[in-house]
Chains A and B, each alone.
Chain A
Amino acid sequence: MMSVFKLLAVMGLLLMSLHANTAASASAESALSNTLSDEAVEERLMLLSSELRCLVCQNESLASSRAPLAEDLRREVREQIRSGKSNPQIVSYLTDRYGDFVTYRPPWSGKTLLLWLGPLALLILAVGMFMRGILRKTPKAIPIAEPDAAELAQLRREFSENES
């Protein structure tokens, strides 16, 4: 009886130490990467940086560019992801330094209103003008009446009477 109790106690202690061990290593890891795995960090980095413009080679995204500045900026973004910053915080870090230009999707503002709504306004204008043109030029349709059987017979009769 006593030995069983001892065994249980030892097992319990072992379990506790194991648990403490994993907890310790987990907290060490989270201190290193702030609960984000490297994979998750890289994934967020790729997603976020594909929305950002490389400033040196302007038609490339920050994700695809191999320019040294793009590498530096990816390093900054990676560190900020690790330190737990949100995507909007990181984007505003970049726009504070480089302006809205670094984002492929410019934000809504007075300056960008024409950019966002211009194409839509042009489309509406074009469709409107097109429709007006069509409506004005098409003549009103003249309904073609079904020939009336009785009327037709009457006409035939008159015709044959005239013939004879």
Chain B
Amino acid sequence: MKRFVPLIIFVALAALLSYGLRLNPRDIPSPLIGKPAPVFTLDRLDNSGQFSTASLNGQPWVLNVWASWCTACVVEHPVLNAWKDKLGAPLVGLAYKDADDDAKKWLAGRGNPYSQVLADRDGRVGIDFGVYGVPETFVIDGKGIIRLKHTGPVTDEVFKDKIIPALQSARVAGAQ
């Protein structure tokens, strides 16, 4: 039995390391999930005044952080366009560190899936949300708690498997 001790140690170490190799180092777990979303007030991109998070209290909503300079957002944008009506919740866009004109041009050319678009010109709101790579998507429930964070472009699968269920559970929790 004793002669198997090194083998057991080797197998255990190999299992641990192979598990580590399979993890995605880009996927940084967000400490914000389950915590209140940062409260902020920002200019709307279309110059129609300011937006405050308080205006969405009481209903779940989706915050999508994007930018016209972001290449992955090109992939994501048609998916957002396709899903915007199926969400049953406001889809708010946050133009992260974007020039207003570039962002407006982007929306004019590719379609605007957002119920409103906010201009985070200096990236401060992005930092408060722990944004480290665009695009990122958050699901926030009616009490202002962050339910889900998705880093990287959302796809049909992400909508089906993560965002819609998160919105549903947020609604159920809100109805209680």
Contact = CB atoms under 8 A, between A and B. Distances in A.
Interface of A: 55-56, 58, 68-69, 72-73, 76, 95-101, 125, 129
Interface in B1-52: 5-6, 9, 25-26, 28-32
B57 to A, nearest CB: 22
25 contacts: A55-B132, A55-B133, A56-B133, A68-B97, A68-B123, A69-B132, A72-B97, A72-B123, A72-B127, A76-B127, A96-B31, A96-B32, A97-B31, A97-B32, A97-B129, A98-B130, A98-B132, A99-B29, A99-B31, A99-B130, A101-B28, A101-B29, A125-B9, A129-B5, A129-B6
Contact residues on B (Cβ < 8 Å of other chain), bracket: 10 to 19
B28 A98 contact: yes
Contacts, number: 41
Given A68-B97, A76-B127, A97-B129, A55 B31 contact: no
Contact of A99 (B28, B97, B127): B28
Interface of B: 5-6, 9, 25-26, 28-32, 97, 122-123, 127-130, 132-133
Given A55-B132, A97-B31, A98-B31, 20 more contacts: A55-B133, A56-B132, A56-B133, A68-B97, A68-B123, A69-B123, A72-B123, A76-B127, A95-B31, A96-B31, A96-B32, A97-B128, A98-B28, A98-B132, A99-B28, A99-B29, A99-B30, A99-B31, A99-B130, A129-B5
